[in-house]
């Protein structure tokens, strides 16, 4: 049975990676450039009017967890590297939080987030979403098939992410992710169960990316998305994958 399961796991992984441009494409990928707008109910709760971003430019590395939001907080760039987050002006560090995950979700973070808190959440979330195909190839990730059209992922502690175990539902026809289920532990470890809907895929030089993303509450038993409310929305206006060779 173990051999059969491993074969099934590999088949679903290979099909998914092929759907996103193929293993070779991601083996030679260096970084992702993207432009996005985002906001939503949860961001307004934590940041008020500062929780909406319009056409922000992002640079994400593929091989390591590093992402930069250009003009994240006025003239300041936001940078995330693993569990460290900082604000920079012209390359000089203005503020830094080394173990950014540790204070969540309690204390004042129950009511409000500062700029470093927001950068930590947005940074790790967007890096995970944009670099998803590269995660399929990482040796420190654990993947297994959950039927023919779903994958269960186990994340290592050194990668900043929503929660250790996450589920990805795949479109049977295309192999692309349609739903991503997780618990957003920085909001609440016992209740922040989310279903992230990905749709309106576009093509960037042979690499598909979801231009429309909507995070909804997850149904408590059957899984999948509840019809309302929209907790977080994000629209990817532009996307490009840069190769090293």
pLDDT tens digits along 33-69: 999 999 999 999 999 989 999 999 999 999 999 999 9
Please say whether the dihedral angle defined by the alpha carbons of residues 205, 206, 211 and 216, taken in this order, is positive or negative.
Answer: negative
Domain limits, the chain: 2-243
On whether the CB atoms of residues 129 and 58 are closer than 8 A, the answer is: no
Cα–Cα distance for residue pair 204/167, rounded to 1 Å:
25
Write down the architecture of domain 2-243 according to CATH: Clam (2.50)
Q: Are strands 142-145 and 92-97 parallel, antiparallel or unpaired?
A: unpaired
Helix (H) and strand (E) counts in the chain: 5, 13
**166-188 confidence digits (pLDDT tens):** 999 999 999 999 999 999 999 99
Q: Which of 159, 170, 225, 153 is nearest to 193 (CA)?
A: 225
Question: Residue 58 has what pLDDT?
Answer: 98
Q: Which residues of 12-36 are buried (b: 16+ CB within 10 A; e: fewer)?
A: bbeebbebbbeeebbeebebbebeb
* Per-residue confidence band for 223, with pLDDT thresholds at 50, 70 and 90: confident
Judge whether residue 122 has pLDDT over 70. yes
174 CB neighbour count, 10 Å cutoff: 13
Judge whether residue 8 has pLDDT over 80. no
Judge whether residue 2 has pLDDT over 70. no
* Per-residue confidence band for 142, with pLDDT thresholds at 50, 70 and 90: very high
């Amino acid at each position: 049975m173990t051999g059969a399961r491993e074969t099934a796991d590999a088949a679903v992984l290979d099909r998914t990676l092929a759907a996103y441009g193929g293993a070779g494409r991601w083996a030679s990928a260096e970084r992702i450039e993207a432009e996005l707008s985002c906001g939503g109910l949860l961001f307004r709760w934590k940041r008020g009017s500062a929780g909406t971003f319009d056409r922000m430019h992002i640079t994400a590395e593929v091989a390591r967890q590093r992402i930069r939001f250009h003009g994240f907080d006025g003239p300041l760039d936001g940078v995330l590297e693993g569990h460290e987050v900082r604000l920079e002006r012209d390359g000089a560090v203005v503020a830094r939080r080394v173990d950014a995950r540790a204070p969540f979700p309690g204390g004042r973070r129950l009511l409000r987030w500062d700029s470093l808190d927001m950068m930590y959440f947005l940074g790790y979330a967007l890096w995970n979403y944009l670099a998803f195909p590269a995660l399929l190839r990482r040796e420190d990730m654990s993947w297994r098939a959950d039927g023919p059209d779903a994958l269960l992922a186990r994340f290592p502690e050194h990668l900043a992410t929503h929660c250790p175990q996450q589920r990805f539902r795949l479109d049977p026809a295309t192999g692309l992710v349609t739903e991503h289920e997780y618990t957003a532990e920085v909001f609440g470890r016992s209740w922040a169960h989310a279903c992230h809907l990905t749709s309106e895929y576009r093509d960037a030089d042979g690499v598909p990316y979801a231009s429309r993303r909507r995070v909804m509450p997850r149904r408590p038993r059957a899984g999948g998305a509840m019809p309302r409310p929209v907790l977080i929305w994000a629209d990817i206006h532009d996307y490009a994958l840069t190769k090293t060779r």
